[in-house]
Structure 1
Amino acid sequence: MTTRRTLLLTTAAAAALAVAAPALAQKVQGVTDKEIVIGKHTDLSGPAAIWGVAVTNGMRMRVEEVNAAGGIFGRKIRFIVEDNAYTQPKAVQATDKLLKRDRVFAMVGNLGTPMNMVSMPESDKLGVPNLFPFSAAALMYEPHHKLHFSFTTTYDQQMRAATKYFVENRGKKRVAILYQDDDYGIDVLNGAEWTLKAKSMELVSKTTYKRGATDFSSQVALMRQANADLVVLGTIIRETIGAAGEAKKIGWNIDMVGPSAMYTPQVAELAPQGVTEGMFGVGQTPILYPDTAGPEAKVWMDKYKAKFNRDADLQAMAGYAVMDLFVTAADKAGKNLSVDSLVKGIESIKNHGDIFGSAPMNFAANKRQGPDPQNSSVLYQIKNKRWIKVDKISY
């Protein structure tokens, strides 16, 4: 005989199952049978917009190709982009929108070290991967985290190799530095100091600037007074041109070298009176020009120009390559896409190249950085407003 207590328990159990059933059947955030929703925040209006706009264009091109071909296992990619204006407050706002309102499956290609540093803790809380950010800071993949993957050598690693090259091959003995006073700049500083310490040397001058600064007269004067014979730059595009211009203004003919953040066509092409001529930069992808690109890259560059009415630059190529990495990983993840299967898909990527000649990518369960950290950097120099390869460098 069914008692009232038994009936109540049975009813409660049924209710609990009814509540639990939708949760059990709940889809992965940002993934349906028809689409994969991914997002990013980047600089579309601030001092690094030269990076942000072109990178986004390149990423969109790859998304459009994939969608035109039917998507990934029938799922089209919906790519949502928010402007962080290269500021942390706007990065926080954009992150909150992407994670909680748009409910993205993954963040792909967020731009800026400081912006990623305020964004990653929030995406981590919700179990959303932060993939291939446009920051070469070690903090993008260290300490090891299941959801963090990087596609670059770090600023630290790049400047270890560059400083070593100039000391050993160019006989530099008095190294100075100008760097942005944030995580990005500190990474550049750490790389230069690592090499100098190994050679029982020290920086002869350390100078900093605030993001958005336009006057570098005092910093350049201090480095000149220290009788530096090499300046390491922890600058981005506008600041690189500004520092070089100040050196030329006071008649200081000094070798300068910086990491991938300043290694862009604009530093060579937009500098007034050729003030950056002879400057050195480090990258892991050659800057291609219409008359130097291989056949496949040339076809892509023509398509880019037809679509955006501007020449494809390194930033656009990097954006395309990063989105291709995500597409490759999602394809390897299989039809039942989840965060776990995506992570395994990335970890299975081996010797992944691109049409632009970038360093190959290799990931693993214990390896979150794609390129070989010691041997993927290349030194380039500006000659006649073009970046020309000097040598492969390592540390």
Structure 2
Amino acid sequence: MLLLSSLRSRLLRPVFLTLCAAVVVQVVVALALTRGTIGALEQDLQKNLSEDAARLLGELQSADVEVRNGLSSLSERMQGDLAQGLTQRLTDEQMQLQNVLEHHLKQSGDDLAVLLAGVAPSAIWDNDVPALTEFVRMAHQNPAVVFVVYFDADGNQLTRHLNRKDPRVKALLDKGEGRTAFDKVLSAAENDPAFYLAKTPINPKGAEIGQVILGLSTSAVNTELSAFNSRFQTLVAGTASLVETGLAATASDSAKILGARLTAATEVAEALDANSQRAVKRSATTLLWKISLGLAATGVLLLVAVTLVLGRQVLRRLGLLVAALRGLSAGHGDLTQRVEIHSADEVGDMADAVNLFLAKLQPIVQEARAIAVQTGAEIDALGTRS
């Protein structure tokens, strides 16, 4: 009731309207400032989110490039390490194989020389040079044999078969020294590490009747080693090609997987950016509405509080003052009444002024009343005498 009566007051109506306008202006200004602040914050957040998303995509792309480069470097390094390891292994195997082949070649040369010495005694005793020459020709069927020569117990040469068309024999003849061709061949072969001389005495029944000298060329070993090296290099190249192909396939698969992951991460980052922006907008809108409602509710509560305070402190005392004045104006003429308002404000001052006016008016009215009574009495007396 007090609130309704306060709102109907003509005195307080301008105050209420002014307060309402002030509250509305306050809400509008606060909303404008809040909207501007939230808009700037939203733009900053969107900018930061966009920069973070771009930085994340850049990091992912850099990781993709680094992984690809790493796979390529790994492929090259593995190929180099494989080639180096296989080459070192080839060198070791070549040395071992060369030693084994030379050992077997020398062993086979010694065995062949022993065999030639074993079949020669009867031919030497019979001085059968054609038979010895036939043994020499048969020995030349071995491609490693360069020359074979029989000597008697006095060191005289019994066979003279020498294949001068053989390039190895020609080389020995060109380098050797001596009176005869066999002297040149023997001297050159003894000083050439590419040749091995198998010397076996012919001593049937313990008596030495001669000697057979067999010259072997180790070039066949080098030929075999070269062929082995060629085959091994082909194997190394094939292995490197297989490794390169396997690594390339693995790198391609890894690149595809990484590309798919990168695409998925890009989509996730873009979706996260969009969702974050939508969430920021929703939060900003919700915050703006909450601030608006809060300001409006605060303004309404402020109006109600001001209305109640004004109604309680002003209108009640003004009502007492109005009631007192209406009592005086009703014609009762009771000038002894006083307005009982005691406050240190304008309403109290007005009540004091009314009470002062009544105090000054009361003796005047009493005197006028006494004069009126006296005049009435005199008029009555005159009427009686007449």
- Please state which band the TM-score falls in when normalised by the shorter chain: under 0.3
Which structure is higher in strand share?
Answer: 1
Q: TM-score, normalised by structure 2?
A: 0.21
TM-score scaled by structure 1?
Answer: 0.20
Report which of the two structures shows the higher radius of gyration computed on alpha carbons: 2
Higher normalized contact order (CA 8 Å, seq sep 6+, divided by chain length): 2
